[in-house]
Amino acid sequence: MDCLIEEQAVGGIPITIVRSCVDQHLQQSDVAVLFLLHGRKEPIKRYVEHAKTLVNAMTKQDNARSLGLVVVLFEQRNHGSRLVSAVANESWSTGNPTHATDMWSIQYGTAKDVSFLMDVLPMHLSATMSVHRWGVAGVSLGGHSTLLAAVHEPRLDVAVSIIGCGDYASLMVPRAQASGLSISTDSCECFPPSLVQILTRLDPVNNVHKLDNQKLLILGGGLDAMVPPSANKMFIDRVRERYGAEGKSEWFDERIDPDAGHTFSPWMMVQTQQWLCKYVLSR
């Protein structure tokens, strides 16, 4: 099934909008907007294909839905047309000594871009199109940004983090050690005190109390050595405790593809579709 694909520049950020041809009549109706965030060093074109898959699946699975789905893609900071320093996208093992601070800055900046676009995007959509619901999904680096956006942006209704992590220190300290670096989260060149301070203030694992009505799904690969599910344990435990205490347990889930490594597997795509169909499109 064909999709409508539009490209715009919104506040200096190039964006791609993907929606169903079947939903053209929804020019006069409410829509749900989903931001789809790509991984580190990945081309956005690949995610246009993912967006088309999601849009087509939503159209087929839920013919009685009341909202049209609009998927919005934009490049992560320091990627694609926004590239400033190629080295800043590298890891310790590939020659970037400031990997921890660079990657944090990029993923946090992209999360802030989500909030910015939520402010201004409605002006750039059809004048008769009203955004009724906001969601975000992301893969790898985009999954990290997704969780940052979820805890800091209360207007988001739904978030799907795919092979992403909500506990930066638990992810990066073992990664540094695997790269042969001597590191601690107290003080070292690769993990400076200023980074520790910002993680204490802004990292998702330390901001679970800000989650309110977000329907949050975390997808991981059982064989993922880059972002192992164990790195998310503290974050997931805290979210489960919060949602359970508030009687919202059904709004959070962690699902693991036991045979997947660090990849957006077909199984994860199906899980994403099901979550979005349940929580994004229905009123």
Q: pLDDT per residue over 53-69, tens digit each?
A: 999 988 766 555 578 89
Task: Note the pLDDT of residue 65.
Answer: 59
Q: At what angle do helices 99-124 and 168-178 cross, to 10 degrees?
A: 140
Confidence band, pLDDT 50/70/90 cuts, at residue 111 = very high
d(CA 161, CA 136): 8
> Is residue 246 within 8 Å of residue 24, measured between CB atoms?
no
Q: What is the mean pLDDT of the chain?
A: 92
d(CA 100, CA 136): 24
Task: Note the pLDDT of residue 106.
Answer: 98
d(CA 98, CA 95): 9
For the cut 70, the answer to whether the pLDDT of residue 24 exceeds it is no
Q: Which whole-number Å values give the CA distances from 86 to 77, 80, 89, 102, 146, in the listed order?
A: 11, 10, 6, 11, 23
Query: How far, in whole angstroms, is CA 92 from its chain's centroid?
Result: 23
Task: Note the pLDDT of residue 1.
Answer: 66
Task: Note the pLDDT of residue 186.
Answer: 53
For the cut 90, the answer to whether the pLDDT of residue 129 exceeds it is no
Confidence band, pLDDT 50/70/90 cuts, at residue 21 = confident
For the cut 90, the answer to whether the pLDDT of residue 41 exceeds it is yes
Q: What is the pLDDT of residues 70-99, one digit of tens each?
A: 999 999 999 999 999 999 999 999 999 999
Q: Which class is 3-281 in CATH?
A: alpha beta
- pTM value surpassing 0.85: yes
